[in-house]
Chains A and B, each alone.
Chain A
Amino acid sequence: MDELVILKLLQKGAEATISLASWYEKKVIIKSRKIKKYRHPQLDERIRRFRTIHEPQLIYEAKKAGVPTPTIFLVDTKNMLIIMEFIQGKQVKHLLTILSTTERSQLCFKIGVLVGKLHFYGVIHGDLTTSNMLLDDYGKLFFIDFGLGEKQNELEVRGVDLHLMKRGFQSTHNKFAKDSFKDIMSGYSNVMGKPFTTNILKKIREIERRGRYVEERKLK
């Protein structure tokens, strides 16, 4: 791969290193799942291989569901890396705090619509944090990082997906977590319909109560 020149390390995440590179004179992202020395080599190889193969498949499925994701150019299971489209944009994590209340509400609604589209199509993202959502310079919202995702239609799994996002908002964006989650769910409801959304909200409460230390344990 002589045509590939790494330009800049963008992010060192939990499971992969994200770099900006030039590939056939095109700006691309390289997602490289490097060896994690803390993990047993056999376990490490298994996890990295599974996710390197699995993620592009899910990104493709998400695209089919109508959710903007980076286009995959190349999957290299020998070096455990994926070459994909570079999206010029900002992480929603950094945007939420600087938006006006209306803008934030609109963005959250949009997030909800995209999550709804994923779930409608049976795709579970698996790590719906605001680090994994990008807004490009044209206002188009992208979902990235499907490494923990799966294809699933079960209510339980969809519920966990949303529960994790809700908790993520509570920890990272506490000041407006409540409103944001409401907006997200109204966007979600737009795609999935009211009855299903009522059901899943009930499921989320059930999952929350299952946690170790939750004050409200009984169904109201």
Chain B
Amino acid sequence: MINSINEIYCLGIESTADDFGVGISTCSGEILANISDGYIPEKGGIHPREAARHHAMVASDVLDEALIQAGIKSSDLSLIAFSQGPGLGPCLRTGATVARALAAYLNIPLVGVNHSIAHVEIGKLKTNATDPITLYVSGGNTIISAFNSGRYRIFGETLDIALGNCLDVFSREAGLKHKKGIPLGAALEKLALDGNNLVLMPYIVKGMDVSFSGLLTSAVALLRQKKYRLQDLCYSLQEIAFAMVCEVTERALAHTEKKEILLTGGVAANKRLQFMLSLIAKDHGVSFNKVPLEFATDNGAMIAWTGLLAFRSGIVTPIEESIVKLRWRIDRVDIPWMN
């Protein structure tokens, strides 16, 4: 990659949860680098402090690797973007510290990016979608959003835990292990392929919202009964949980009359969920857009790209306003670049 003098390069840092990611994007949306290093807990879920420690340890290597992959020097950068929230406090702070230091050292502007918006924007960049209903499902998020009067509005969301969280906790209860390259969700999906008997569990849909805590409790209780094959339980949990998010996505689609569905987040990797949503899209004559896995899971490229979009609309984040926002909702941010 050869750098031209006029090109703007934005480096984005993602560190909301277990992944530390660095991406580099050009103004036209060319992703020159997208490097990530994930923290894998020895047992249990993400320990925020341990994850932050991991991020601090790998930060410099990931940054170097991204610059090498992009074929540019740090002095070529024009902008630093970072995920300012929502997410886990210690993790967010580690990424923000790296971002502030870089921006100050290179003497270039800083832009704080909302993580959920970044998922939508990179999704639009990497698919044909321009104004979709987005189903964003991951370990920490379950949001059905769409653009309406200046912002991404939340049409539906979880009333308690996230879809990915529900699947992960069940998987751990079932003794599955998170390995490098094989997240818990993938292990669960693999087992579910061998399931064929539907075990009934609570199906909780409230308007365009969903609730997974009762489903999780029930699934874990059934697991402990040892009456059913694990494959059947994995299969049933997926069938029921996915049907719930599909129903509310379809409801939001009918309500907003949008013409595109966008699926993103870590759970977007699940083939069964992809298939279910594609059927809904077909049924309504709208397009189904699945974000490629590299850009659907947490990544630095999405932060870089969204930082650029914001910067081009005149948004910068002065260091003194760059404090992280742990509970920063997607519908709290104006989106000037969509007008």
Which residues on the A side are within 8 Å of B284 (C-beta)?
12
A residues near B332, Cβ cutoff 8 Å: 215
Q: Is A217 an interface residue (CB 8 A)?
A: yes
Instruction: Please indicate the chain B residues that have their CB under 8 angstroms from the CB of A129 in the complex.
Output: 207-208, 255
Q: A210 CA to B328 CA in the complex, in Å?
A: 14
Q: Tell me the residues in window 294-339 of chain B with beta carbons closer than 8 Å to chain A beta carbons.
A: 325-329, 331-332
Q: Is the CB of A211 within 8 A of B203?
A: no
Which residue of A36, A160, A172, A212 contacts B255 across the interface (Cβ within 8 Å)?
A172
B251 touching A13 by the CB < 8 A rule?
yes
Encode A26-41 as 1/0 by CB contact (under 8 A) with B: 0000000000111110
Give me 8 other A-B pairs in contact (C-beta within 8 A), A127-B207, A164-B208, A207-B159 excluded.
A14-B250, A37-B279, A148-B206, A167-B154, A168-B208, A172-B153, A174-B150, A212-B142
Residue A131 at the chain B interface, CB threshold 8 Å: yes
Q: 16 A-B Cβ contacts within 8 A?
A: A12-B283, A13-B254, A38-B246, A43-B203, A43-B239, A127-B207, A128-B207, A131-B254, A148-B207, A172-B256, A211-B158, A212-B158, A212-B161, A214-B327, A214-B329, A217-B327
Contact for B251 among A14, A93, A170, A175, CB less than 8 A: A14
Contact B243 A164 (CB under 8 A): no
Complex interface: chain A residues within 8 A of B151 (CB): 174
Asked if B80 CB lies within 8 Å of chain A CBs, one says: no
* Chain B contact surface mostly: mixed
Rank and list the top 3 A-B pairs by shortest CB-CB distance, nearest first.
A14-B251, A171-B153, A38-B276
Interface size for chain B: under 10, 10 to 19, 20 to 34, or 35 or more residues? Answer: 35 or more
A43 contact from B208, B240, B253, Cβ within 8 A: B240
Complex partner residue of B206 from A42, A164, A215, CB under 8 angstroms: A164
Set B153, B276, B277: member contacting A174, Cβ < 8 A = B153
A residues less than 8 Å from B283 (CB atoms) = 12, 37
* Interface flag for A126 (CB, 8 Å): yes
**Complex alpha-carbon distance, A217 and B329, angstroms:** 13
Tell whether A198 is near chain B: CB-to-CB under 8 Å. no
Most chain A Cβ neighbours within 10 Å, of B140, B148, B208, B240: B208
- Chain A residue with the shortest CB-CB distance to B332: A215
Q: A15-B247, A129-B207, A164-B206 are in contact. Are A38 and B149 (CB under 8 A)?
A: no
Residues of B within 8 A of A (CB): 86, 140-142, 146, 148-151, 153-155, 157-162, 198, 200, 203, 205-209, 239-240, 243, 246-248, 250-251, 253-256, 275-277, 279-280, 283-284, 325-329, 331-332
Chain A residues, Cβ within 8 Å of B140:
212
**Chain A residue, CB-CB nearest to B256:** A172
Known interface pairs A42-B198, A148-B206, A211-B159; A171-B331 also in contact (CB < 8 Å): yes
How distant is B331 from chain A, measured CB to nearest CB, in Å? 7
Nearest residue in B to A131 (C-beta to C-beta)?
A: B255
Complex interface bits, A75-119 against B, C-beta within 8 A gives 1, otherwise 0 = 000000000000000000100000000000000000000000000
Report the Cα distance A128→B206, complex, angstroms.
10
CB distance from B234 to the nearest CB of A (A): 13
B270 CB to closest chain A CB (Å) equals 13
Shortest C-beta distance, A43 to chain B (Å), equals 6
Q: A38-B243, A129-B255 are in contact. Are A168 and B279 (CB under 8 A)?
A: no
From B162, B206, B254, contact of A212 by CB (8 A): B162
Q: B256 — which chain A residues lie within 8 A by C-beta? A: 172
Chain B contacts for A148, CB-based, 8 A: 205-207
A47 within 8 A of B: yes
Q: Mark A4-34, 1 if CB is under 8 A from B, else 0.
A: 0000000111110000000000000000000
